[in-house]
Chain A
Amino acid sequence: NAGVTQTPKFQVLKTGQSMTLQCAQDMNHNSMYWYRQDPGMGLRLIYYSASEGTTDKGEVPNGYNVSRLNKREFSLRLESAAPSQTSVYFCASSGRLAGVSGELFFGEGSRLTVL
């Protein structure tokens, strides 16, 4: 019962370094999402992929890129990390076709610190 799996769970970067957060789901879901959560705040949408082969910007896309590698995997890349990107990152997936209501299921999160 893996559900949504994120790696790594913890990462420390120096300003200017790059890294990729990986996400995989085994529920055969069409849509996948990346959110960030800052202390005391809700989740803000970074990017999403309604279906394999498509990606779109969310509320806070600046400084990030994404790749929908296949139906299972959706990665988030920080090309040049900044301290403002210190956050907890959550990947989520949804089982319904884009535009049709569905439930969001989350991974356990990836805690990123940028020094």
Chain B
Amino acid sequence: GQQLNQSPQSMFIQEGEDVSMNCTSSSIFNTWLWYKQDPGEGPVLLIALYKAGELTSNGRLTAQFGITRKDSFLNISASIPSDVGIYFCAGQLRGTYKYIFGTGTRLKVLA
């Protein structure tokens, strides 16, 4: 089946540092979504991308839809303690209604 490879799996960073994570696949996607999930809660949408090459920002977050339509990355600038959590990418497979998810990046910010 289709898979989304998300990396890194986890990372510890110092407050104020920039963070980068990405998702890759052998499948083609129409949409890329990036979510943050806090313990005991549902995923919360951070950024949505709809076109190949699209670069979108939401505050300190920036995400890009890869030109090949098979990958996406998320950057967080000047991290703060509340950025702690698990970040997921999700892609809507081309020609389907299916959204599949990456395995997540667990972010820990050291004050």
Within 8 A of A (CB), among B84-103: 88, 90, 92, 95-103
B residues sitting closer than 8 Å to A (CB atoms) are 1, 4, 6, 30-31, 33, 40-45, 48, 50, 88, 90, 92, 95-104
List chain B residues, Cβ under 8 A from A33: 99
Interface residues of A in 41-85 (CB under 8 A from B): 41-45, 48, 50, 56, 58-59
How many A-B pairs have beta carbons closer than 8 Å: the answer is 60
Q: Which of B1, B44, B45, B97 contacts A56 (CB 8 A)?
A: B97
Residues of A within 8 A of B104 (CB): 41-42
- Cβ A106 vs Cβ B101 within 8 A: no
**Chain A residue with Cβ nearest B32:** A101
Pair A50/B42 contact, Cβ less than 8 Å? no
- Given known contacts A101-B30, A104-B33, is B97 in contact with A31 (CB within 8 Å)? yes
